[in-house]
Structure 1
Amino acid sequence: MKNLKHAGYDYLLEESLEALHRESQIWSSELKLWEIELAFFQKLLDRNSQNFTSNEEKKKMGHFQNLVSYYTGEVLDRFDQKIKQHEKYLAGELANKEQLDESVYRKKHAEIASHIGAFRIEFIMYKREFFNFIERVM
């Protein structure tokens, strides 16, 4: 059995499937919030596009618009599909408790958690850079 670390403490037991399910629900909520934020960022870019006149500013604006499209159209959609498949797999496994293979679910869960954690950090950096950029014209 693996030791899990949470908030700086060591635990001898793995998290329950219910806890992992709740974490998946949190990811889904985060995706919805990120979609709302990205739509808002696109509106800010649209409303302030005429205020960026230099070639450098226009390139930077294009960069932010490309990232909004990429995050919305690819990254978040991919995460949403993975989370739904992941939860569907769990539901199927729980319905068939005699053949429950938690290790497959836990491995996939850890993989998704790693990808979402990395994106969470990337998105924080994106927002910081975006706000510094858009703040110049507001």
Structure 2
Amino acid sequence: MVDVIYNSDLHFEHTLWTSELTFWEGELKSLENKLKELISHWTDKEVLAKLEHYKDVFTLQSDVVRDIKKSIKQHEINILDHTPNGHESMDIPRVKEHLKLRSKMETQREAYGNLKKEFFQFSSEYL
């Protein structure tokens, strides 16, 4: 038996991912503000180097979030291009593309969660 993956299911998952990514963008702005606060309180070069590291990582995370959102948007366009032809289910290449996006989201979710945990531990140590 072959499971059918419907466009509406993929769109729903895209919507959830986009909401999650938008939330992360807001969190990253808050984390960057916290970072600025910490930078303004420290003159120790070792601590400032660690803070600079987090600044770089937050920038990288913002770029990753933006890239994933762009990939989701492109996949949505592919789905929309596919739907007018009367196809309500995806073909194998598009499903594989979606599964790659899902894997990226899962990887990013874990990496982002670890980053926040690490930064909170660091910031509580240096507040």
Tell me the TM-score normalised to structure 1 length. Answer: 0.82
2:101 corresponding residue in structure 1: 112
Could you tell me how far 1:55 is from its partner in structure 2?
2.9
Select the structure with the greater relative contact order (CA < 8 A; seq sep ≥ 6).
2
How many aligned positions are there? 127
Could you tell me how far 1:14 is from its partner in structure 2?
4.5
Higher helix fraction (1 or 2): 2
- List, as ranges, runs of 4+ consecutive aligned residues in structure 1 with deviation greater than 4 Å: none
1:6 corresponding residue in structure 2: none
Supply the distance in 1 between the matched residues of 2:91 and 2:77 (Cα, whole angstroms): 14
Supply the distance in 1 between the matched residues of 2:56 and 2:4 (Cα, whole angstroms): 40
- State which of 38, 54, 65 in structure 1 corresponds to 2:28: 38
- State which of 80, 84, 108 in structure 2 corresponds to 1:91: 80
- State which of 112, 116, 122 in structure 2 corresponds to 1:133: 122
2:67 corresponding residue in structure 1: 78
Q: Give, as a single letter, the amino acid of the residue that structure 2 aligns with 1:90.
A: I
1:5 corresponding residue in structure 2: none
Deviates more, 1:50-59 or 1:89-98: 50-59
2:112 corresponding residue in structure 1: 123
Could you tell me how far 1:96 is from its partner in structure 2?
1.1
1:10 corresponding residue in structure 2: none
CA RMSD of aligned residues (A): 2.0
Deviates more, 1:108-117 or 1:14-23: 14-23
Q: Which runs of 5+ in 2 are unaligned?
A: none
Higher strand fraction (1 or 2): 1
Tell me the TM-score normalised to structure 2 length. Answer: 0.89
Q: Are the equivalent residues in 2 in contact too, given 1:51–1:137 (CA < 8 A)?
A: no
